[in-house]
Structure 1
Amino acid sequence: MAKTDEVSIVEELSKAEEGNATVGSQRSQEDPTWCSSTAVNLTQKIIAEVIGTYFVVFAGCGSVAVNKIYGSVTFPGVCITWGLIVMVMVYSVGHISGAHFNPAVTITFAIFRRFPLQQVPLYLAAQLLGSVLSSGTLRLLLDSSTPHFFGTMPVDSNLQSLVLEIIITFLLMFVISGVATDSRAIGELAGIAVGATILLNVLIAGPISGASMNPARSIGPAIVMNQYKGLWIYIVGPIVGAIAGGFVYNLIRFTEKPLREIARSGSFLKSLSKNRI
């Protein structure tokens, strides 16, 4: 093919692209229903948060209800279920929405300018919707009467449960801040780290406070089953604990230089595998 022919083809393609861009811009001005890519991306994020929160509550609270009804899951099984479902959903939709599934996490990210403030109400609504829908599903599928309540209520004093919720949510947000917001962390292990933290927290605080760490996780079952005893604890405690955990991690974040630049490797895990070979 001659050089002049190649130039003419390139010119024709560039003109066609410019024409398509002009048509697209004119359509967006003339048709208000024409969605921009930003709107579509935000919609995808909201849907991902609804689905993620739905299955986190479905599996976690479902294991609680099944264990109370049939006694087949056992308490260690409930702890493992909570950790596994969070880990699975983080890896499933974390690259779409950030995998918050928790109003306390969303609020904390927004406070420390790691999440757009204007998107906070949409995320909170999506998380609450996912929790309510999931709780309603469990209510329909299982014999979830009041003795089989799969929400969270303080076993002893309100103060004990409040302090415990603050502490365990502090730990959760501290870990999330480390693996999700620090570029020096090993990002491939974020889901495992967060899931393991939730497993440990439920193992410790589950018998006392229910180990909510998540206002949506407690609000959904409370609304569906009309049980509001001590609900404020699971709203105030996780939010205070998450903000404190994010604040403390920011105090020890002394550099923004990624570990990958220091190690001069595309991936820490890949470098480990190469060394082993």
Structure 2
Amino acid sequence: MAHDIVLNANCDASRSVDDIHVSVPLLQKLVAELVGTYLLIFAGCASVVVNLDNADIITLPGISIVWGLTVMVLAYSLGHISGAHFNPAVTIAHASTKRFPLKDVPAYILAQFAGSLLASGTLRLLFRGKANQFVGTLPTGSDLQAFVLEFIITFFLMFVISGVATDNRAIGELAGLAVGSTVLLNVLIAGPITGASMNPARSLGPAILHSEYRGIWIYVVSPILGALAGTWVYTLIRYTNKPVREITKSASFLKGRQPRDDK
């Protein structure tokens, strides 16, 4: 879900993010995005449908933990291959700040939607013997309330991603944990009201499989706008008066790096 979440942790400071991406063929990145999005949607939505089928046995905190942990483990597993976006809003936001090639955006989005559709189809087949449980996202209040809430939580998510995954001054090893924790918090906050999508692919996959499109425009437009706002606000505050050689170093508590003075 987060662009280059673990690159800073695993790569030497002298190597740029672009150098890493050049060495990975686009097809491999697309497969990683498809598989990662599939596993994300399958695990997260499976916790929702199991909860519905078993009298709220998992509960909202449990569902939040599933989403957060899934994002974290996938970020550490696939971040060094595709950047671990798993989310069209994240891909578009990174492309808007030239941290992702614009020409690769359509292919990434198609791979993400394919992963979501496959995961949604798998869940529908697995649970078809019971009531038709919709694992998509629907607003429980007004459309305006849902739109604003989805914008805020996606802004929060993208702001954190921009801080920990694209700024070399951050501690790279903790990026996946930070992003996963943000997702967990957002699901706790907004889950009962909007479903806490933050991701057009997450909402569209189940919507298409179940032909349930009520409020779907909210889950397409609001996360994209929230992600764009989040990454651009962080871009505005990321600049510093530190020398370029200091900015380009990768912070890491595993490499004996001295504490930084981020004035």
Sort the TM-score into its range (normalised by shorter chain). 0.7 to 0.9
- Deviation per CA, 1:121-155, whole angstroms, max 9, x where unpaired? 00000000000000000000014877621100000
How far off its partner does 1:231 sit?
Answer: 0.4
Unaligned runs of 5+ in 1: 1-36
Q: Which structure's CA Rg is the greater one?
A: 1
Q: Say how many residue pairs are matched.
A: 236
Unaligned runs of 5+ in 2: 1-20, 259-263
**Out of 212, 219, 236, which is 1:234 matched to?**
219
Distance verdict in 2 for CA 1:90–1:144, change over 3 Å: farther
| 1:213 and 1:238 in contact (8 A); partners too | yes
How far off its partner does 1:267 sit?
Answer: 2.9
Aligned counterparts of 2:79 and 2:226: Cα–Cα separation in 1: 22
Distance verdict in 2 for CA 1:203–1:40, change over 3 Å: closer
Distance verdict in 2 for CA 1:39–1:250, change over 3 Å: closer
Distance verdict in 2 for CA 1:256–1:83, change over 3 Å: farther
- Deviation per CA, 1:188-243, whole angstroms, max 9, x where unpaired? 01100000000000000000011000000000000111110000000011001000
Distance verdict in 2 for CA 1:256–1:52, change over 3 Å: farther
Question: 1:267 is matched with which residue?
Answer: 252
Q: TM-score of the superposition, structure 2-length normalised?
A: 0.84
Give yes or no for the alignment of 1:92 onto 2:77: yes
How far off its partner does 1:73 sit?
Answer: 1.3
Give yes or no for the alignment of 1:62 onto 2:54: no
Question: 2:11 is matched with which residue?
Answer: none
Q: TM-score of the superposition, structure 1-length normalised?
A: 0.80
Give yes or no for the alignment of 1:53 onto 2:37: yes
Give yes or no for the alignment of 1:124 onto 2:129: no
Aligned counterparts of 1:265 and 1:146: Cα–Cα separation in 2: 51
| 2:159 and 2:233 in contact (8 A); partners too | yes
Question: 1:200 is matched with which residue?
Answer: 185
SS of residue in 2 equivalent to 1:269: coil
| 1:213 and 1:234 in contact (8 A); partners too | yes
1:1-277 superposed matches below 5 A: 41-70=25-54, 71-143=56-128, 148-255=133-240, 261=246, 267-271=252-256
| 2:24 and 2:81 in contact (8 A); partners too | no
- Deviation per CA, 1:23-72, whole angstroms, max 9, x where unpaired? xxxxxxxxxxxxxx969710000000000000000000110011011132
Distance verdict in 2 for CA 1:114–1:272, change over 3 Å: closer
Aligned counterparts of 1:85 and 1:78: Cα–Cα separation in 2: 11
How far off its partner does 1:271 sit?
Answer: 2.4
Percent of pairs with identical residues: 64
How far off its partner does 1:261 sit?
Answer: 4.2
Question: 2:14 is matched with which residue?
Answer: none
Distance verdict in 2 for CA 1:140–1:261, change over 3 Å: same
Distance verdict in 2 for CA 1:169–1:57, change over 3 Å: same
Aligned counterparts of 2:60 and 2:175: Cα–Cα separation in 1: 25
Q: Note the aligned Cα RMSD (angstroms).
A: 2.4
- Deviation per CA, 1:100-139, whole angstroms, max 9, x where unpaired? 0000000000011000000000000000000000000000
Which segment drifts farther, 159-168 or 246-255? 246-255
**Bigger RCO of structures 1 and 2 (CA < 8 A, at least 6 apart):** 2
Aligned counterparts of 2:71 and 2:137: Cα–Cα separation in 1: 18
Aligned counterparts of 2:236 and 2:246: Cα–Cα separation in 1: 22
How far off its partner does 1:260 sit?
Answer: 9.4
Distance verdict in 2 for CA 1:211–1:84, change over 3 Å: same
How far off its partner does 1:74 sit?
Answer: 1.3
Higher helix share: 1
